[in-house]
A and B are shown apart, each in its own frame.
Chain A
Amino acid sequence: MSTNGMTSWAVDLKDIGAIYPFQGTETALFVLGLIFWIGWHVWQAKIEKQEFADAERDFDAEHSGKSIKRY
């Protein structure tokens, strides 16, 4: 048993193509990859929105003056 179909390198390499495991799952991997990517954007946007809401709530003009002076 081998996850990429290769059980030995006693072969002529010109006859060999793909050597990654679980060949045949490329399209499923692609779809999962797209979900991972879109999901990341959604998750990140939620985190950022909350971060900005907290920052606006905690806004303190005096503290901001110190931040501004740091340049």
Chain B
Amino acid sequence: MGNNLDALTTVFTEFYYWVTVVFMFLIHVGFCMYEVGASRRRNHMHTLMKNTMVIPLVTITFYFFGWWIYWALPNGPGITGGLVDASANAANSPTMATHLGDRITGVFWAAFLLFSWTAASIVSGGAIERIRSSAFWIHAVLIGSVFWIIDASWGWHSGGWMVQLLGYHDAYASGVIHAIAGGYALGVLCVLGPRLGKFAADGTPRDIPPHNPWLVTIGIFLIYTGFWGFYAACNVPAISPEAIGGLITGETWTATNIYLSPTTLGAITFNFLMSLSGGMLAAYIISKGDSFWTYSGGLAGIIGASAGNDLYHPIQAMFIGAFVVVIVYKMHFWVERKFKIDDAVGAVAVHGYAGFLGVVIAGFMLWGQPSSPYADYAVITPWGQLAGAIIMFGVLGFLPAYLISKAMNSMGILRIPAKVEIEGLDHHSELAYQAAVADVIAAENAIAQKL
């Protein structure tokens, strides 16, 4: 820390990211509530643990190699350059620890880590009640600590090759988190198959209602809350043109997006709330007031506008949110009927389709705008955004998930046995619980007889 202003900026930035991490924890709480509410009683504890264990597994692997991937791969490698020396962000670096010379890496790493949990959690919801936890946790590590962070290095990094060559712009991660996680979920679901009884013999889908709609909706409410932290974490809170080192002139400090292009917290506050509202209003109408879809529509509205929410007008954000929700709602049921995909919580629609559309729409809305404050970067275009959306959803999301799931399925380690699915994943723990309760009651009755 060179002087008092540097010191203040460093301490403020350290605290800023730390607070975003606390907020983003609520996303995971929300996802857990949502999934448990959507599952049936005989699967509750397994469903809860399946998502909860994302936290330690993705955390340690993101520490071991995920963070290094982000800093090592912005050039591809092999597209705009070679592998970048990221040894300072490797797990054996002294600055990846208690170090008085580096106060930012820990909180910045954690902000990215919470995105990793979200990516894995999105995949978790669609596969409830029939995926083996052991299989899901391998997928969780792959999406949370490998594939999403590769796409972040490519398209969510001030030097990423997608930003340089395609003008890719995705400020609040429509594609970088949501499209890739939705695409990944779809790849898993294609191989995993539907829950038993989901489709009638003639292929007609059955609605499997959530066991607790109240818990589901409150879960999404918590995800909304955590989303505030997510948005704030996507920004650099305060930086000078000198520190950016790009084309910006003068001495005006600013908040920036991840590409170090200027925006404001005020802008993203407007646009977060307006896109949320547009999504909820459209979802209420299209779903005829269904609570599950109205809440999910709020999320899809935000996700659909997130790629450009650093730059949109709030009313544009509202209409984009509303438009995207209508499309994804229709697509969810069309894909379910046509391809027999059982997306138990609408994860592919709310995250995957909305994220994909959000990236593409930003290409039209922000056409010709600079993607970066640095010279010689491509400008934002519809074709650059479309290519980016395909890379996120298809190349880094759907494709690896499909191939890995195929391999797991061929080894018989992807799906739980049919008898277990019918009996319920909590069968053994339920028997143990009932036995323990019976034992305690018998013991207390015996004591009562002696008193």
| Interface positions of A (Cβ within 8 A of B) | 13-14, 16-20, 23, 26-27, 29-30, 33-34, 36-37, 40-41, 44-45, 48, 51-52, 54-56, 58-59, 63-64, 67-68, 70-71
9 A-B pairs closest in CB distance:
A26-B92, A45-B134, A59-B419, A18-B94, A27-B92, A20-B98, A30-B92, A17-B101, A30-B91
Residues of A within 8 A of B211 (CB): 71
Residues of B within 8 A of A16 (CB): 100-101
Q: Per-residue 0/1 for B407-436: is the Cβ within 8 Å of any A Cβ (1 yes, 0 no)?
A: 000000100110110111001100000000
Residues of A within 8 A of B1 (CB): 14
Least CB distance from B108 to A in Å reads 18
Least CB distance from A46 to B in Å reads 9
Q: Are B42 and A63 in contact (CB under 8 A)?
A: no
Q: Are A33 and B419 in contact (CB under 8 A)?
A: no
For chain B, give the interface size range: 35 or more
Q: 25 A-B Cβ contacts within 8 A?
A: A16-B101, A17-B94, A17-B99, A17-B100, A18-B95, A18-B97, A19-B99, A19-B100, A20-B97, A23-B94, A26-B97, A29-B92, A30-B92, A36-B60, A37-B64, A40-B57, A44-B137, A48-B133, A52-B420, A55-B419, A55-B428, A56-B419, A58-B427, A67-B427, A68-B422
Residues of A within 8 A of B57 (CB): 37, 40
Residues of B within 8 A of A68 (CB): 42, 422
Q: B340 at the A/B interface (Cβ < 8 Å)?
A: no
Residues of A within 8 A of B95 (CB): 18
Q: Which residue of A lies closest to B211 (CB)?
A: A71
Q: B406 at the A/B interface (Cβ < 8 Å)?
A: no
Contact of B427 among A23, A29, A55 (CB under 8 A): A55
Q: Are A67 and B134 in contact (CB under 8 A)?
A: no
| Interface positions of B (Cβ within 8 A of A) | 1, 40-42, 57, 60-61, 63-64, 91-95, 97-101, 132-134, 137-138, 211, 413, 416-417, 419-420, 422-424, 427-428
Q: Are B60 and A26 in contact (CB under 8 A)?
A: no
Q: Are B61 and A44 in contact (CB under 8 A)?
A: no
Contact of A33 among B91, B100, B134, B427 (CB under 8 A): B91
Determine the distance from Cα of A18 to Cα of B428 in the docked complex, in whole angstroms: 48
Least CB distance from A68 to B in Å reads 7
Q: Are A45 and B41 in contact (CB under 8 A)?
A: no
Contact of B134 among A27, A48, A56 (CB under 8 A): A48
Determine the distance from Cα of A1 to Cα of B202 in the docked complex, in whole angstroms: 77
Q: Are A59 and B423 in contact (CB under 8 A)?
A: yes
Least CB distance from A62 to B in Å reads 11
Residues of A within 8 A of B413 (CB): 45
Main secondary structure of the interface of A (DSSP, over half): helix
Q: Which residue of B lies closest to A71 (CB)?
A: B40
Determine the distance from Cα of A54 to Cα of B423 in the docked complex, in whole angstroms: 12
Q: Are B92 and A71 in contact (CB under 8 A)?
A: no
Given contacts A55-B428, A67-B42, A70-B41, 10 further A-B contacts (CB under 8 A): A16-B101, A23-B94, A26-B97, A30-B91, A37-B61, A37-B64, A67-B422, A67-B427, A68-B42, A70-B40
Determine the distance from Cα of A37 to Cα of B57 in the docked complex, in whole angstroms: 8
Q: Which residue of A lies closest to B60 (CB)?
A: A37
Q: Are A34 and B100 in contact (CB under 8 A)?
A: no
Residues of B within 8 A of A51 (CB): 428
Residues of B within 8 A of A17 (CB): 94, 99-101
Determine the distance from Cα of A19 to Cα of B91 in the docked complex, in whole angstroms: 16
Determine the distance from Cα of A60 to Cα of B426 in the docked complex, in whole angstroms: 15
Least CB distance from B404 to A in Å reads 14
Contact of B133 among A29, A33, A44, A70 (CB under 8 A): A44
Least CB distance from A59 to B in Å reads 4
Least CB distance from B225 to A in Å reads 29
With contacts A16-B100, A37-B60, A44-B137 taken as known, whether A52 is within 8 angstroms of B94 at the C-beta atoms is no
Residues of A within 8 A of B99 (CB): 17-20
Q: Which residue of B lies closest to A60 (CB)?
A: B423
Determine the distance from Cα of A58 to Cα of B430 in the docked complex, in whole angstroms: 14
Contact of B98 among A18, A27, A36 (CB under 8 A): A18
With contacts A33-B64, A64-B422 taken as known, whether A41 is within 8 angstroms of B134 at the C-beta atoms is yes
Least CB distance from B362 to A in Å reads 37
Determine the distance from Cα of A58 to Cα of B419 in the docked complex, in whole angstroms: 10
Residues of A within 8 A of B41 (CB): 70-71
Residues of A within 8 A of B133 (CB): 44, 48
Residues of B within 8 A of A63 (CB): 423
Q: Which residue of B lies closest to A40 (CB)?
A: B57
With contacts A29-B92, A55-B423, A55-B428 taken as known, whether A34 is within 8 angstroms of B98 at the C-beta atoms is no
Q: Which residue of A lies closest to B429 (CB)?
A: A51
Q: Are B60 and A52 in contact (CB under 8 A)?
A: no
Q: Are B417 and A33 in contact (CB under 8 A)?
A: no
Least CB distance from A43 to B in Å reads 10
